[in-house]
Amino acid sequence: MNEQEFKDRTKNIELRIIRLVEALPEGQASQVIIGRQLLRSATSVGANYRAACRAKSTADILNKLKIVEEEADETLYWLELIVEAEIMPETR
């Protein structure tokens, strides 16, 4: 996968997450806490990948890609919580 394909894929995932957060049922836990955290971590993935593409050194690239990995893992955590708390059903 090339750089542009990865940028496109991360943006598409982020757009899906935005729509998912907008569809969460109203409530303190689902919209305010989980929704906000999910939105923050998911949108950070693409933003940090783009920053890695502009990095000035190998160390900078690796640091930014590590952030991408951490934010992607956090996004997965929030998605798992949504399913396991039965806020929304899991769909594939």
- Measured CA to CA in angstroms, residue 45 lies from 15, 16, 29, 64, 87 at distances of 12, 13, 23, 10, 23
Number of Cβ within a 10 Å radius of residue 58:
8
Where does the pLDDT of residue 29 fall: very low under 50, low under 70, confident under 90, or very high at 90 and above? confident
Tokens representing 22 are 């907008």
Average pLDDT on 36-40 reads: 95
Pick the CATH number of 3-84 from 1.20.1440.60, 1.10.260.40, 3.20.20.370, 3.40.1710.10: 1.20.1440.60
Please state, for a pLDDT cut of 70, what percent of the chain lies above it.
99
Q: Is pLDDT at 10 greater than 90 in this prediction? A: yes
Nearest to 26 by CA among 15, 37, 34, 18: 34
Average pLDDT on 28-47 reads: 90
Q: Sign of torsion, CA 29 19 92 67? A: negative
